[in-house]
A and B are shown apart, each in its own frame.
Chain A
Amino acid sequence: MGDVLTDPVTGLATGALTDAAAGPVRSTPGGGPAAQAEPTGVAGLLDRFIELVPRALTWLNDPLNWTNRGGILDRLGEHLLLSAGAVLIGCLLAWPVGLWLGHRAATAPYRRGRSRTGAVGRNTVVVVSNVTLAIPVLATLTILPLTPIGFGRPAVIVALAIFAVPPLLATAYTGVTEVDAQARDAAVGMGLSGGQLLRRVELPLAVPYLAAGFRTASVQVVATASLAAFVNGGGLGHIILPGFGLGLVTGGDQVVAGGILVAVLALAVEGVLGLAQRAVTPRPLRRTGARRRANPTP
């Protein structure tokens, strides 16, 4: 019962006030050292920054931190494994549904009396993405192991896959609905059935969108996978969290180093998949396709 003094409400007042009132007696979570000098003012922050960054780089420069059991390389492998599994499950779930919903919406004009099906697809996509936005990752990570899935990798992967679904679903849907109506007309005129139309015309033309969604989902999952460490699920988060446990005076370098690793990994995935997305996008579509939506300026 050590945190009676850490009133969250008054703790939100100005930093100086908090320090004066509760500085020496405030508790830290995870049983870290109780006394924690907190910098006040820009100068204090700058001092700590100047002190922390070289220490983090030193930590990163220690080969043992990379090769030890549970070191960076182990954690990176886990991280990539978790992310790949989650994105794969996400793709298997979201792409067929998204493509089918898009196909139903886009071919609604060809069916008599069923013009409302377009709204169903769009609403599904919107509802799924809104609901998943509201669910904290921490909740799925903690709840799923307690369901029949059980503890271990599968629960973590499923927990992450939930957050891969919305971008994959939305882009699959949009990719099909954005297919040029004339191409679809021509295909229908040539006598293609619904399934043939989807497979031979809509799917290939939707590939740039699918790639964009794949990139977004992957980056998001790689970012989210770092939170798996909260439930001992593996991944690079395991570099950051123990640092907080050690207390920031001793573990600060490890925390910052872990942060750098996680950030660099996310940016690298973004970059690599960005190139991949470009590679699978036919040249005439490159400026206009998926990129136009990301950038609202004309």
Chain B
Amino acid sequence: MSPIRGDVGGDIGGGLGGDLGGAAAQGVPGNPWFSWRYVEANADEILRRLLEHVTLTGQAVLIAAAVGVPLAVLAYWVRPATGPILAGAGVLYTIPSLAVFAFVGPLLGIRSVSVLVPLVLYALLMIIRNTLTGLVAVPAEVRDAARGMGYGRLAQLVRIELPLALPGIVTGLRLATVSTVAMTTIGVLVGHGGLGQLILGGFRANFYRAEILTGAVLCVALALALDLLLLAAGWLATPWARRRAA
């Protein structure tokens, strides 16, 4: 697969972006940091990779949230389990992502599931930790009041504790999302790295800067956009916190 690269001589957009980062100083003609020609010629490829990136990130965070929040609740309810769950999460977090890819890749083969599993693992840790922090931070008076009003354990969790822990949960989701977006790029190892394919593809295609930077910038922009989206969602979901702040 060889994307069409607009790096031959008279690049139209190249003059515009060529000065970025002192590219001219390197004296490499026709290797601009940004090129509209490249983007236009490879719009399909770029979109495909972006879509892959978003899909992988979305799946990873959703699965991690679906597993992580109940685990955090378990750790919250069963106090003796809190230590082991957090310690386990901490040890897992210490293990480098490339090592996890190295364990999962040979097991699952060259396909996108091999990217998804490590992503879910790391997202899981952040979601568990922050959800638990949020749950523990629920004031004891509130819990007492809920119990006094006759709430059962489950009702108290769903109606009182989880809503009050929402800021923590949202923080966990945001951290997990942002770092998942960045980590997805390592999926190039098995050919499903989303925008990472562009970054490393450009590097391998004779250090084609436009492709590298397009991938990198889209990656950071995606992380920022998803972060803001979650921030807004959290803001909408916690009207009481807004009122208190105002």
Chain A residues packing against B (C-beta within 8 Å): 1-3, 6, 8-9, 11-12, 15, 18, 26-29, 32, 36-39, 45, 48-49, 52, 130, 133-139, 142-143, 145-148, 219, 222-224, 226-227, 230-231, 237, 240-241, 243-244, 248, 252, 255-256, 258-260, 262-263, 266-267, 270, 294-298
Find chain B residues with CB under 8 A from A267 CB. Answer: 91, 94-95
Smallest Cβ-Cβ distance to B209: which chain A residue = A146
Smallest Cβ-Cβ distance to A33: which chain B residue = B110
- Tell me how far the C-beta of B196 lies from the nearest C-beta in chain A, rounded to whole angstroms: 5
Smallest Cβ-Cβ distance to A12: which chain B residue = B112
- Tell me how far the C-beta of B25 lies from the nearest C-beta in chain A, rounded to whole angstroms: 6
Contact of B96 among A36, A37, A224, A298 (CB under 8 A): A224
- Tell me how far the C-beta of B59 lies from the nearest C-beta in chain A, rounded to whole angstroms: 7
Contact flag A136-B99 (CB < 8 Å), given A45-B107, A255-B105, A296-B129: no
Find chain B residues with CB under 8 A from A255 CB. Answer: 102, 105-106
- Is B97 at the interface (CB under 8 A from chain A)? yes
B216 contacts A226, CB within 8 Å?
Answer: no
Find chain A residues with CB under 8 A from B209 CB. Answer: 146
- Is B190 at the interface (CB under 8 A from chain A)? yes
- Is B51 at the interface (CB under 8 A from chain A)? yes
Contact flag A146-B207 (CB < 8 Å), given A15-B111, A138-B186: yes
Smallest Cβ-Cβ distance to B140: which chain A residue = A298
25 CB-based A-B contacts, threshold 8 Å: A1-B2, A2-B1, A8-B52, A8-B55, A9-B55, A12-B116, A18-B111, A28-B110, A29-B188, A39-B108, A133-B178, A136-B219, A138-B185, A139-B216, A147-B22, A148-B26, A244-B105, A248-B106, A248-B110, A252-B106, A260-B99, A262-B99, A267-B95, A296-B86, A297-B82
A256 contacts B199, CB within 8 Å?
Answer: no
- Is B189 at the interface (CB under 8 A from chain A)? yes
Residue with the greatest number of chain B CB neighbours at <10 A, chosen from A8, A48, A259: A8
User: A135 CA to B213 CA in the complex, in Å?
Assistant: 12
- Cβ-closest 7 pairs across A and B: A259-B102, A223-B96, A139-B216, A134-B223, A252-B106, A38-B109, A8-B52
User: A276 CA to B172 CA in the complex, in Å?
Assistant: 30
User: Which bracket fits the contact residues of B?
Assistant: 35 or more
How many A-B pairs with Cβ below 8 Å?
A: 197
Find chain A residues with CB under 8 A from B202 CB. Answer: 142
Find chain A residues with CB under 8 A from B98 CB. Answer: 223, 226-227, 237, 240, 259, 262
Find chain A residues with CB under 8 A from B96 CB. Answer: 222-224, 226, 262-263, 266
User: A252 CA to B108 CA in the complex, in Å?
Assistant: 11
- Is B227 at the interface (CB under 8 A from chain A)? yes
User: A9 CA to B133 CA in the complex, in Å?
Assistant: 36
Find chain A residues with CB under 8 A from B26 CB. Answer: 146, 148
Find chain A residues with CB under 8 A from B83 CB. Answer: 297
Find chain B residues with CB under 8 A from A28 CB. Answer: 110, 191
- Tell me how far the C-beta of A98 lies from the nearest C-beta in chain B, rounded to whole angstroms: 21
Find chain A residues with CB under 8 A from B116 CB. Answer: 12
- Tell me how far the C-beta of B46 lies from the nearest C-beta in chain A, rounded to whole angstroms: 13
Find chain B residues with CB under 8 A from A248 CB. Answer: 105-106, 109-110
Smallest Cβ-Cβ distance to B76: which chain A residue = A297
Smallest Cβ-Cβ distance to A37: which chain B residue = B109
Contact flag A134-B109 (CB < 8 Å), given A230-B200, A295-B86: no
B192 contacts A134, CB within 8 Å?
Answer: no
- Tell me how far the C-beta of B18 lies from the nearest C-beta in chain A, rounded to whole angstroms: 13
Smallest Cβ-Cβ distance to B82: which chain A residue = A297
User: A174 CA to B197 CA in the complex, in Å?
Assistant: 38
